[in-house]
Amino acid sequence: MILELAGVTKTYGDVAVLRGIDLRVDEGELVAIVGPSGSGKSTLLHVMGTLERPSGGQVRIRGVDVAGLSDERLADVRARDIGFVFQQFFLSAHATAAENVADGMLYAGVDARTRRRRAAEALDRVGLAHRANFRPAKLSGGERQRVAIARALVGRPAIVLADEPTGNLDSATGGAIVTLLHELHASGATILVITHDHDLASRMPRQVQVLDGRIVGDSHATALR
Amino acid sequence: MRLRFADQARVASVGVRARKVRAFLSALGIAIGVAAIVAVLGLSSSSQAGLLAEIDRLGTNLLTASSGQSFSGDAAELPREAPARVGNLDAVESVAHTGDVTGAHVYRTPLIPAVSTNAIQVRAASLNLPSVVAAGMAQGRWLNEATATQPVAVLGATAAKRLGFERVTPGQRVWLGDQWFYVAGILEKAALASELDSSVLVGYPAAERHLNYVAIARGAAVAGPPSTLYVRAATEQVAGVQAVLAQTANPESPNEVDISQPSDALTARAAAEGAFDSLFLGLGVVALIVGAVGVANIMIISVLERRSEIGLRRALGATQRQVRTQFLAEAVLLTVLGGTAGVAAGMIATVVYAQNQGWRVVVPVEAWAGGIAAAVVIGAIAGLVPAVRAARLSPTEALRTV
C-alpha cells in the first residue's frame, strides 16, 4: 500500500472542504480523481502530497502516518516519496531542461553528479533527451509539461501526483501527455491524476469521483465488489 | 536533508542571476556607501603616512629662536654672537641664521611702484641655511662664499611666484634696495621654515655692503644682527636644547627670544588630519542605510514575485529553514557583491589619489575588512524579514498564485 487515506477531513474555518475521504492506492496504479471545480480535489491532492495537514483522519504514505511528522520530516517525505506535476509546469526560466529536472532531487540529499545523470535518464524516459540543454522558453507547452513530469519522476518517488497536467495544453498535446502517463504507468510508476475532465479520466484504469468533499464513486471499488 | 554548500550557493544566486540589472542597482547603494568609507579611511591614512614620511625626512630636531619683543613692546634684537654661542652647545649639530633687512624691498623692475612690495621680505642668510632647514633648490644654485659678497639673491618659492620667475636663466635680475641683484636660484618650499618661502635671500656680506645691514660690534660696523636662528639639535636632546636656547642666544634678556619647534605644526596637522573624516564617514553610513533599505525592499518584492518558485521548492522537499536560508543568503550575496565592488572602488580611488600626491598607499585592514563585514551584516538584517516571510508562506497558497 503506497497511499492510504482514512476518514480525512479538511476544514478552513467553518468551511468543510474534505468531509471524510477514504482512499487506498496500491503500487503501480494509475488513478484519476475526477470532479468539478470546487469539489475539493485540489485540496485532496495537497493533503495527499503532505503540502497541507488534514484537519482529521489519517494519511499514510508507505505505511507512515504523516500527521505526527515535523516540517523537516514532511519535507523529507516530499523530497523522496512524492513527485508533483502542476498545471502551470512551474519550470525555472533561467535553467535548462536538464537542470530543471535535476532540481527534482535537489532536496533529497543526492550529489550533483548523480542528479545530472538521473536527469538525463528521466528526460530520455519522457522522450526529450534531444532538448536537454534548451531553456523552457524554447520548448513547446507539451515539451514543458514533459520536463515537469521528468522532474517529478527523477527521484523515483513512491507516487506521482499530477494536478490537471493537461489543463494548459491543447487536446492533441494533452493526449500525448496522457499517452506518456500510460507508458510510465506501464513501466511501473504509481501515478495519481487530478482532473475535471471526464474524457481524460475515462482513459485511466481507475477513476475516483469526488463531489463536495466526498468520494462519490470509485471504479476500482466497484470492480472489487 | 541539508543542502551542500555548492547547491546552497547556486540556489541563493538564482534571483541575482535572473534579474541582473535589478541586482546591480540594489547592490549599488551598498557599493557607494562602502566605497565612500574605504576611500575616506584609505585617503586619510595615506595622507597621514605621507605627512609622517615628510616629517621623517625633514626631521623633528629643528628648533628656531627668533627675536621677539622687549618688555616695552619694541622689536627686540638678537645679539650678533648668538649663532656662535648656540653653536657651542654640545647637543647642537648645526646653526643657521637669517637677518631681516627691514628697510629693503624687492621688485621685478625699477618701474614698479614702491608700494607694490608683494609682501616679500628681504633677509640676509648664512650659507648653511638650506641644509639646516632641509630645503632644496628648485632652480639654479644657492649662495656660496663668492656670491654671498656680491649683489646676488636667491628667491623663496612663493617670492619667485609673486615676482614672476618660473625658471632661472643667467643674467636675470631683481630690483632690490635701489640696485640690481642677479638671481642665482629659487628655493623649494621650506616646510619647516615657511617664512623663507616669501623671502628674497642675500648673503650677509652683500647685505652689509649693498643694503647697509650693519650692527655695531666693539665700535666697528659688521654685518648683522641675526633675527632668527635655525638650530639642529641631537634628536634625543631636543628638549634640553629647547630649555636653554633662549638664555644661550640672548643671556641678557632671554624673555625677548621666541623659541619654537616647527615640526610641531606638521605633527599637529598629521594628528588633525582625521578630523573632517567623520563627515564623510557619516555620509558613507547614510548611503549604507539607504542601500540596506533598498535591498530589503527588493527582497520583499522578490518574495512576492517568486511565490510559485517558493511553492515549487516546498513541493520538491525544501524545508521552511531551507527557504529562509535561500532568501537570507540571496540578500547577503547582493550586499556582499555591492560591498566587494565598493571596497575595490574605494581602493582604486585611494591608490590613484595617493600616487598622484606621492604618498605611500595605506588602506587600513579595518577599512576593507570592515566594509565587507558591514555588507554581510546589512545583508543579513535587510534579508531577515523577507526570508522569514518566504519561509512562512504556506506551500499551497504559494502554488495557488499565477
Q: Which residues of A touch B (CB under 8 A)?
A: 43, 46, 49, 51-52, 71-72, 75-80, 82, 84, 86, 88, 90, 92-94, 103-104, 106-109, 111-112, 151
Strands A56-61 and A3-12: antiparallel
Q: What is the pLDDT at residue B256? A: 85
User: Could you report the per-residue pLDDT of B4-15, keeping only the tens digit for each?
Assistant: 888 989 898 988
C-alpha cell at B353: 589619489
Find where cell 540556489 sits. Answer: B11
**Radius of gyration in angstroms for the set of CA atoms belonging to chain A, rounded to a whole number:** 17
Residue written as cell 576593507? B368
Verify whether the Cβ–Cβ distance B317 to A103 is below 8 Å.
no
CB contact under 8 A, B1 and A106: no
A107 with B402: Cβ contact below 8 A: no
> Looking at beta carbons, which residues of chain B come within 8 Å of A108?
1, 317
- The pLDDT score that the predictor gives to residue B73 is 67
Burial class (CB in 10 A: 0-12, 13-18, 19+), B327: buried
pLDDT the model gives residue A159: 94
Q: Are A203 and A46 in contact (CB under 8 A)?
A: no
Q: Which domain holds residue A213?
A: 29-44+73-224
Given a contact cutoff of 8 angstroms between Cβ atoms, the answer to whether B309 and B11 are in contact is: no
Instruction: Give the nearest partner residue to A51 out of B7, B308, B395, using CB atoms.
Output: B395
Does residue B225 have a cis peptide bond before it, meaning omega lies within 30 degrees of 0?
A: yes
Nearby residues of B243 by Cβ (< 8 Å), 6 or more positions away: none
Distance CA B322, CA B391 (A): 8
Q: Which residues of A are less than 8 Å from B318 in CB distance?
A: 75, 79, 106-107
At residue B144, the 3 state secondary structure works out as coil
Would you list the DSSP string of B57-81? HH-S-EEEEEE-B-TTSSBP---TT
pLDDT value at residue A221: 64
- H or E element, residue B347: helix B320-357
Greatest Cα pair distance in chain A: 51
Residue B300: Cβ within 10 Å count: 17
The alpha-carbon gap from A204 to the nearest alpha carbon of chain B, in Å, equals: 25
Amino acid of residue A196:
H
Please tell me the distance from the alpha carbon of residue A83 to that of residue A78, in angstroms, as a whole number.
7
Q: Say which residue the cell 621666541 belongs to.
A: B258
3-state class of B90 per DSSP? coil
Name the closest residue on chain B to residue A75, using Cα atoms.
B317
A212 within domain boundaries: yes
CB-CB neighbors (< 8 A) of A92 in chain B: 14, 309
Structurally, chain A folds into a number of domains equal to 1
> Is residue B187 within 8 Å of B129, Cβ to Cβ?
no
Q: Chain A partners of B316 at a C-beta cutoff of 8 Å?
A: 78-79, 84, 103-104, 106-107, 151
Rounded Cα–Cα distance for residues A105 and B208 (Å):
100
CA distances from B220 to A149, B80, B126, B209, B224 (A): 117, 12, 20, 14, 12
Task: Quote the CA–CA distance of B53 and B64 in Å, as a whole number.
Answer: 21
User: Domain locations in chain B?
Assistant: 5-55+271-400, 60-269
Q: Average pLDDT per run of 10 along chain B, which is 402 residues long?
A: 84 89 92 91 85 80 83 75 87 90 88 87 92 88 90 92 88 89 91 89 89 75 82 87 87 86 77 70 88 93 92 94 95 95 94 88 88 94 95 89 56
Cell of A204: 485511466
Closest CA of chain B from A78, distance in Å: 5
For the stretch B13-39, what's the b/e string if a residue is b when 16 or more beta carbons lie within 10 angstroms of its beta carbon?
bbbbebbeeebeebbbbbbbbbbbbbb
Question: Chain A residues with CB inside 8 Å of B314's CB?
Answer: 51, 75, 78
Question: Residue B130: is the preceding peptide bond cis (ω within 30°)?
Answer: no
Q: In chain A, what residues touch B395 (CB-CB under 8 Å)?
A: 46, 51-52
Pairing of strands B257-260, B228-233: unpaired
**Binary contact (A79, B316; C-beta < 8 A):** yes
Q: In this structure, is the dihedral angle defined by the CA atoms of residues B236, B237, B238 and B239, taken in order, positive or negative?
A: positive
Residue A132's domain is classified under what CATH number? 3.40.50.300
Q: Does residue B348 sit in helix, strand or coil?
A: helix
Chain B segment 319-378 residues within 8 A of A by beta carbon are 319-322
SS3 B189: coil
What integer pLDDT is reported at residue B344 of this predicted model?
A: 95
pLDDT computed for residue B224 by the predictor: 73
A105 to chain B: closest CA residue: B316
Say whether A80 and B317 touch across the interface (CB within 8 A): yes
Distances from the Cα of A210 to the Cα of A32, A201, A224, angstroms? 10, 12, 19
**H or E element at residue A162:** strand A159-163
Would you call B369 helix, strand, or coil by DSSP?
A: helix
**Is A51 within 8 Å of B322 when comparing Cβ atoms?**
no
- Which residue has cell 615628510? B54
Decide if A79 and B1 are in contact by the 8 Å CB cutoff: yes
- Residue A165 is classified by DSSP as T
Partner-chain contact B14 A46, CB within 8 Å: no
C-alpha span between B289 and B33 (Å, rounded): 8
Average pLDDT, whole number, for chain B? 88
With beta carbons less than 8 A apart as the criterion, state whether B107 and B200 touch: no
Give the closest-approach CA distance of A105 to chain B in angstroms.
Answer: 7
pLDDT of residue B223: 72
Q: Is B263 exposed, middle or buried (0-12, 13-18, 19+ CB in 10 A)?
A: buried
Q: How many residues does chain A have?
A: 225
With a cut of 0.85, is the ipTM above it? yes
Per residue of chain A (225 residues), what is the pLDDT tens digit? 899 999 999 999 889 999 999 999 999 999 999 999 889 898 999 999 999 999 999 999 998 999 889 989 999 999 999 999 999 999 999 999 999 999 999 999 899 999 999 999 999 999 999 999 999 999 999 999 999 999 999 999 999 999 999 988 898 899 999 999 999 999 899 999 999 999 899 999 999 999 999 999 998 765 554
Q: Using the beta-carbon criterion (under 8 Å), do A106 and B3 form an inter-chain contact? A: yes
Any domain includes A197: yes
Break chain B down into helix, strand, coil percent, rounded to 5.
Answer: 55, 15, 25
Asked if B301 and A53 count as a contact pair (C-beta separation under 8 A), the reply is no
Nearest alpha carbon to residue A193 among A171, A183, A208: A208
Candidates B172, B177, B33; CA nearest to B114 is B177
pLDDT digits (tens, 9 = 90+) for B148-188: 899 999 999 999 999 988 888 888 899 988 899 999 999 99
